Amino acid sequence: MDVAFILAENVVRVTYDNLNSVAIDMTKKDILDVLGVATAGSAALGVAEVEGLLEEWGGKKESTVIGFDCMLPAPYAALINGMMSHALDYDDGHDKSMVHAAASVVSSAFAVAQRKGKINGKDFITAVALGIDLMARMALGAKTNLRVSGWVYSCIFGYFGAAAAAGKILGLDKEKMVNAFGIAYSQTAGSFQSIADAVLTKRAQLGFAARAGVFSALLAERGITGPVNCMEGDYGIYNNYIKGEYDPHAVTNDLGRQFEVVNMGFKAYPSCGYTHNPIFSTLTLMKENGLKADDIDEINVSTGKNAGDLFEPLERKRRPPVVPDAQFSIPYTVGVAVVKGSVGIGDFTPEAIKDTRVLGVAQRVNPIILSELTRREVDPSIVEIKTKDGNRYSMRMDNRKGTPENPMTEEEFDNKFRDCLTHGRKHISKQKTEKIMHLIKNLEEVDDVGKIVQLLG
């Protein structure tokens, strides 16, 4: 039996009562986090153009578009909200499987919840937890390094996670859930070329997954069939996309008892996760030793091969020509940390990436790639700062800030959300910001989750 049937049965069977308190708490945090980064992402490059095209097409006003005064058909709303959620590279991360999950899962879940109407908080939490769990498990099953595969796992497995969440809210039975997965697979895409070329489709790919998740669940609800052996068939995703290098046990181990949402991490900085260990170490060394940008002679960053990609090509990463390049640059982000003493949303705009002070420091950031620092999760880093007076300061970091091993404090997490809501297209009052936070933190008591996302539209 294809693992799609096992996963579908689990999605259909599990209820809120099967979730433990940690899974519930982490799911609520992930929902709040993605609403925050999506709001900030509503002002990101490329978003207005995509939203404008979708609004031009029009259609039934079913689901809220965050940051815009419009509602769109559910698949379209899921697409643009998913794109916004990932636009700043500030969304969640499951480091063990190397996926961003909430952008596609939560966006599809809200879109379908508004379309259907009157979805309560407990049912919504369950759908999101299951979508994230399925997506992370599918990625954990892939034994091939995602950069070697050439596929962005957040994208290709996001299609299935989004379909699972949408299908759960729609109340699909096992047969229709399997078909929803198959229909989603028929649309699955998302390659590393968008990252390599530093283009705006990088941020849109998770939106495409969210749209397909909604569309697939709605088609399955109406009886449309898809390939039922979409995961392990001869041409299923594991054999077609991962070349058969997968472990089915990793996909189903403790299924329905252990929920991978508990292993989600949240980003402290709006850039690729591989930049985070160097950023934190640099900020710490600068602060603890009272260093200024003018004191710096050079900065050597030792890291693994995966993170080493954020140094290539070196001159482009030291002087990123476009924002997506800056988001995926260790020299640039370390330069920001040195010059500004923080790394935030405002440091990734077309104007900010031209800051000559930051670029001057970035020219002095050097890569040292070590095989012993290469791993499946985000690579550790060792930052060594050399000053002009001959002193050296060094710090190693293995687990980026925001991971379960090194979590944000509650205050840090809440302040990230508050800050995000000040960077969107629309003004969100402090009163409304706190109301949204209260509703999500008490989501199990909410009778209609659509009321929450409407506060951001």
pLDDT of residue 148: 85
Interaxial angle between packed helices 430-441 and 410-420, expressed in degrees from 0 to 180 and rounded to the nearest 10: 130
> At 145, is the pLDDT very low, low, confident or very high (cuts 50, 70, 90)?
confident
> At 245, is the pLDDT very low, low, confident or very high (cuts 50, 70, 90)?
very high
Name the CATH topology of 3-267+415-454: 2-methylcitrate dehydratase PrpD (1.10.4100)
> At 252, is the pLDDT very low, low, confident or very high (cuts 50, 70, 90)?
very high
Query: What percent of the chain shows pLDDT beyond 70?
Result: 100
Superfamily of domain covering 273-397: 2-methylcitrate dehydratase PrpD (3.30.1330.120)
- Nearest CA to 209 out of 134, 116, 110, 103 is that of 103
Q: Residue 161 in contact with residue 131, Cβ under 8 Å?
A: yes
Interaxial angle between packed helices 21-41 and 102-116, expressed in degrees from 0 to 180 and rounded to the nearest 10: 90
Question: Phi/psi at 290 (nearest 5 deg)?
Answer: 60, 35
pLDDT of residue 376: 86
- Nearest CA to 48 out of 456, 455, 426, 420 is that of 426
The mean pLDDT of 232-242, rounded to a whole number, is: 97
> Where do you find CATH 3.30.1330.120 in the chain?
273-397
The mean pLDDT of 152-159, rounded to a whole number, is: 98
What letter represents residue 5's amino acid?
F
- List of long-range contacts for 146-151, beta carbons under 8 Å, 24+ apart: 146/98, 146/192, 147/192, 147/306, 147/309, 149/241, 149/242, 149/243, 150/191, 150/192, 150/193, 151/190, 151/191, 151/192, 151/241, 151/242
- Nearest CA to 341 out of 322, 357, 326 is that of 357
The mean pLDDT of 122-134, rounded to a whole number, is: 98
Structure tokens at 373: 């620092």
Q: Residue 243 in contact with residue 278, Cβ under 8 Å?
A: no
> Is the pLDDT assigned to residue 90 strictly greater than 90?
yes
Over residues 194-210, the pLDDT tens digits come to: 999 999 999 999 999 99
The mean pLDDT of 119-127, rounded to a whole number, is: 98
For the chain, what is the mean pLDDT?
Answer: 97
pLDDT of residue 408: 97
The mean pLDDT of 62-85, rounded to a whole number, is: 97
Our CA angle for 103, 105, 110, nearest 5°, is 95
pLDDT of residue 243: 95
Residue with tokens 């050439």: 150
Give the other-Cβ count within 10 Å of 22's Cβ: 12
pLDDT of residue 147: 80
Question: What does the alpha-carbon distance between residue 107 and residue 40 come to, in Å, rounded to a whole number?
Answer: 15
The mean pLDDT of 56-79, rounded to a whole number, is: 97
pLDDT of residue 200: 95
> Is the pLDDT assigned to residue 130 strictly greater than 90?
yes
pLDDT of residue 189: 97
pLDDT of residue 419: 98
pLDDT of residue 445: 98
The mean pLDDT of 291-314, rounded to a whole number, is: 96
> Where do you find CATH 1.10.4100.10 in the chain?
3-267+415-454
Give the β-pairing of 296-303 and 381-387.
Answer: antiparallel
Structure tokens at 84: 């916004």
What letter represents residue 211's amino acid?
R
The mean pLDDT of 252-273, rounded to a whole number, is: 98
pLDDT of residue 146: 81
Give the other-Cβ count within 10 Å of 154's Cβ: 27
Our CA angle for 283, 288, 290, nearest 5°, is 95
Give one word for 98, left, alpha or beta, with left for phi > 0 and alpha for psi -120 to 50. Answer: left
* Burial annotation 291-324 (CB, 10 A radius, 16+ → b, else e): bebebbeebbbbbbebbbbbbeeeebbbbbeebb
The mean pLDDT of 162-168, rounded to a whole number, is: 99
> At 106, is the pLDDT very low, low, confident or very high (cuts 50, 70, 90)?
very high
> At 386, is the pLDDT very low, low, confident or very high (cuts 50, 70, 90)?
very high
Question: Phi/psi at 426 (nearest 5 deg)?
Answer: -105, 150
Query: What percent of the chain shows pLDDT beyond 90?
Result: 98
pLDDT of residue 51: 97
Over residues 46-66, the pLDDT tens digits come to: 999 999 999 999 999 999 999
